[in-house]
Amino acid sequence: MNSSWRDRFCKKIIVNCELRIVNFLTFVRDMADYLDNGLKYVAGVGEVRAKLLEKELGIGSMRDMLYHFPFRYIDRTKIYQIGEISEAAGLAYVQFRARVTGVSYAGAGRKRRFSVYVSDSTGSAELIWFQGVNWIEKRIEVGREYLIFGKPSFFRGELSIVHPEVENIEKALSRKAESGMQGIYSTTERLSSSLGAKGFYNIICNLWAVAKEHIGETMPPALMRQYGLIPLREALHNIHFPQSPEKLRQAQYRLKFEELLGIQLNIQSQRTDRMSRHNGFLFPKVGEAFNGLYGKLPFPLTGAQKRVIKEIRTDTVSGYQMNRLLQGDVGSGKTVVALLTMLLAVDNGYQACMMAPTEILARQHFATISRLLGGVGVKVAILTGSSKARERRIALEGIADGSVKILIGTHALIEERVKFENLGFVVIDEQHRFGVEQRAKMWTKNSQPPHILVMTATPIPRTLAMTLYGDLDVSIIDELPPNRQPIRTVHYYDSARLRLFGFMRQEIAKGRQVYVVYPLIKESETMDYKDLTDGFESISRDFPLPEYRVAVCHGKQKPEDKEESMRQFKDGEADIMVATSVIEVGVDVPNATVMVIESAERFGLSQLHQLRGRVGRGGEQSYCVLMSGEKLSKEAQLRLEAMCETNDGFRLAELDLKLRGAGDINGTMQSGAAFDLKIANPTLDTQILQVSQSAAIAILADDAALAKPENRGLLQLKQRYSAEKKIDFSMIS
Ligand code: ADP
Ligand code: MG
């Protein structure tokens, strides 16, 4: 054998082995993605903070942290002078250099407070610590200059900053930043005491150094070209460390697109799946139940109501399972549409149920529907969390043996022990209080999934509805019943209370009834409750018995008491109903003509509109009075003006979308949403939403299972967004 041949042979084997090893390593890397590693080994994190991050923000892995995006950026190259920082300047964060002129201590023990006084040539400020005093006092030296960063606050025009970041000026100026813009990350109160804005930023820097090499690409090159997307690694780099405003914009676009595409891939394949099954119950017959009610309705249906009933009918004879969202402004008459379509199910040998978000609403639906069905011969029952033994037994036995045809209730209907003989149709009222998970449970209440009709008074575009609620078709009631007089809306400042009371007396003298509603916000429930009880007392004083009767209704009452108050008001035994926003959805008292909303500036636009929808249900002129303090933010002012200008829920919803900031992803519309969004705001990013939807449809049409090698990243992306969000039951009041 000649040696050169031998050499070449060996070399070939070695190269071959190397190639195999490289292949093997790539394989291993793909199997166990580096970014799935925990955070505790990243410099600056450690065991304790890793646990806190997981517990407080759900950040468990390196990937989670990379996908925890800043919600705002501040320009760290900008150094203010104290004189420039005023309340009017409206700065969220400021950075300035100043010299320490003195320190002082106040309080003792846990109430201890440490103040540092600083000044520059243009003014002075106070820096305040309530926590970590021992640590910070050692680091502050009178006479030295520092770079100070934090959230400004003002007391009588004097600048102060609580828990600022403070750094030696020499050290600060020598530091090389990743970028001029520093991300500010959302955090929680518990976390922020151990991890400030800068701490967070530092961790991200350290993480980036080790993680950047391991960021793969999720999108095939063709798709990136088609939609003008920058690579994932570049996007993640710029979202955390923007190299320029333009780069930041591209990064946001890429990441929003990716997120919405991940969601759309799930929705669209669920849809294809649903449409390929042919397992929808068939309701071909229009029989006694439907015709029995239709023939004796106290009013003719509007054109829009008829159209929607037709749409639902088409679905229920198609062989596919229906999954439909019914949108209609408050008072547009959704209930009767729901009832007629439930009767279609009954006519075809199926049972139907209707789920409402609150006890009061469920009881009201039960009363309305029982009344409408008087003489039609369809048995209706009710089941709620507070149903007594008898009521519960009637409901449970009746639906199990099939004698009860329509069951109305709250989320108690989802419970395991609620077993229908043959459930074919489910109505969910006021969807924003329910999540997809609940809907999914209803799917399992029969051998095949029943048809689902979801009703909401918050109008939203179809793509948006799908992103928020999953795969749905949309019907719209865009017409109010005739002879409705538009509600007159006015805005009063609190100082005009006497005028308000005079007006209320006038209306009550005409035999009408009045609502007075107080805000109820979860975080400050006790305070709100106090507002309500104070309000109740003051109204009882100004509207004394026996001339006036005042009822009260709020979430802290026992269900029986709440119900009794509502009954009194409904039956005209009370003239005034003082309530929290528990009455927000759906209560129907046609004789009530005045809706007074206290602290109206604290409500969102759609909530205000919902509340206003409680009046104007009879033939009389109705009024809505928005009460507010004198000092209003610009946004609150705009909301109140819009309310006074229009009664059109669709227009208000549009404006609401415009007024909401990008950070407000957790607004009312999002609660109960199907997907947990990190960067896209489906109410603002409507265009990206549409584009991502058509992209998803095209991708799946070509490769439904995402089995092609170039779609591997997309498959992972889809899986990442397939998990459904947990539902917060405490939202259901
Ligand atoms: P929402 O869509 O807000 O749930 P409801 O179903 O509670 O509205 O209907 C509001 C009121 O309008 C009810 O008192 C109902 O009886 C009445 N209504 C519904 N449809 C019509 C109609 N076609 N003509 C007249 N009144 C109607
Ligand atoms: Mg309703």
Q: What is the DSSP string of 273-317?
A: HHHHH----------HHHHHHHTT-SSPPPHHHHHHHHHHHHHHT
Pick from 160-164, 541-545, 651-655: least confident: 651-655
Mean pLDDT (the chain) is 85
Q: How many CA atoms lie within 13 A of 683 on its CB side?
A: 22
Q: Sorting pLDDT into bands at 50, 70 and 90, what band is 15?
A: low
Nearest ligand, measured from the Cα of 430: 2
Give long-range contacts, CB 8 A cutoff, 24+ apart: 501-506.
Answer: 501/542, 501/543, 503/594, 503/623, 503/625, 504/543, 504/576, 504/594, 504/596, 505/543
The answer, yes or no, to whether any atom of ligand 1 lies below 6 A from the CB of 617, is yes
The answer, yes or no, to whether any atom of ligand 1 lies below 6 A from the CB of 559, is no
Give the residue whose CA is nearest to atom 18 of ligand 1.
333
Q: Sorting pLDDT into bands at 50, 70 and 90, what band is 557?
A: confident
The answer, yes or no, to whether any atom of ligand 1 lies below 6 A from the CB of 616, is no
The pLDDT of residue 515 is above 50: yes
**Three-state secondary structure readout of 294-305:** HCCCCCCCCHHH
The answer, yes or no, to whether any atom of ligand 1 lies below 6 A from the CB of 459, is no
User: Considering the domain 488-646 in this protein, what is its CATH number?
Assistant: 3.40.50.300
How far is Cα 43 from Cα 37, in angstroms, rounded to an integer? 14
Give the residue whose CA is nearest to atom 1 of ligand 1.
331
What is the domain partition of the chain in residue ranges?
A: 77-176, 288-477, 488-646
Which amino acid would we find at residue 450?
A: P
Q: Find the 480 Cα to ligand 2 centroid distance in Å.
A: 13
Nearest ligand, measured from the Cα of 586: 2
pLDDT, residue 318, reads 93
- For residue 456, the 8-state DSSP code is E
Q: Find the 724 Cα to ligand 2 centroid distance in Å.
A: 27
Which of 100-109, 256-265, 577-586 is the most confident on average?
Answer: 256-265
The answer, yes or no, to whether any atom of ligand 1 lies below 6 A from the CB of 336, is yes
The yes-or-no answer to whether 288-477 and 488-646 have a common fold is: yes
Q: How many CA atoms lie within 13 A of 326 on its CB side?
A: 29
Residue in 580, 464, 468 with CA at minimum distance from that of residue 518: 580
Q: Find the 635 Cα to ligand 1 centroid distance in Å.
A: 32
Q: Find the 360 Cα to ligand 2 centroid distance in Å.
A: 12
- CA end-to-end distance (rounded Å), the chain: 88
What's the token pair of residue 369? 């529907």
Q: For residue range 416-441, list pLDDT tens digits in order.
A: 899 999 999 999 987 655 566 677 78
pLDDT, residue 334, reads 94
Give the residue whose CA is nearest to atom 16 of ligand 1.
333
Choose which residue among 617, 622, 647, 650 to substitute to test ligand 1 binding: the one with the highest number of ligand atoms within 8 A of its C-beta.
617
Q: Sorting pLDDT into bands at 50, 70 and 90, what band is 461?
A: confident
Q: Find the 583 Cα to ligand 1 centroid distance in Å.
A: 17
Choose which residue among 297, 299, 606, 610 to substitute to test ligand 1 binding: the one with the highest number of ligand atoms within 8 A of its C-beta.
299
Top CATH class, 77-176: mainly beta
Nearest atom in ligand 1 to the alpha carbon of residue 336 is: 6
The pLDDT of residue 553 is above 50: yes
Which of 380-389, 464-473, 578-587, 661-670 is the most confident on average?
Answer: 380-389
The answer, yes or no, to whether any atom of ligand 1 lies below 6 A from the CB of 588, is yes
Work out whether the CA dihedral 280, 460, 408, 356 comes out positive or negative: positive
Nearest atom in ligand 1 to the alpha carbon of residue 335 is: 6
The β-bridge relationship of strands 158-162 and 488-493 is: unpaired
Pick the CATH number of 288-477 from 3.40.50.300, 1.10.10.10, 3.40.630.10, 3.40.630.30: 3.40.50.300
Q: Find the 543 Cα to ligand 1 centroid distance in Å.
A: 31
Give the residue whose CA is nearest to atom 9 of ligand 1.
333
Query: In 331-421, where does DSSP find H-type helix?
Result: 334-347, 359-372, 389-401
The answer, yes or no, to whether any atom of ligand 1 lies below 6 A from the CB of 365, is no
How far is Cα 540 from Cα 549, in angstroms, rounded to an integer? 8
The answer, yes or no, to whether any atom of ligand 1 lies below 6 A from the CB of 199, is no
Choose which residue among 301, 325, 368, 588 to substitute to test ligand 1 binding: the one with the highest number of ligand atoms within 8 A of its C-beta.
588
How far is Cα 368 from Cα 580, in angstroms, rounded to an integer? 23
Q: Find the 365 Cα to ligand 2 centroid distance in Å.
A: 8
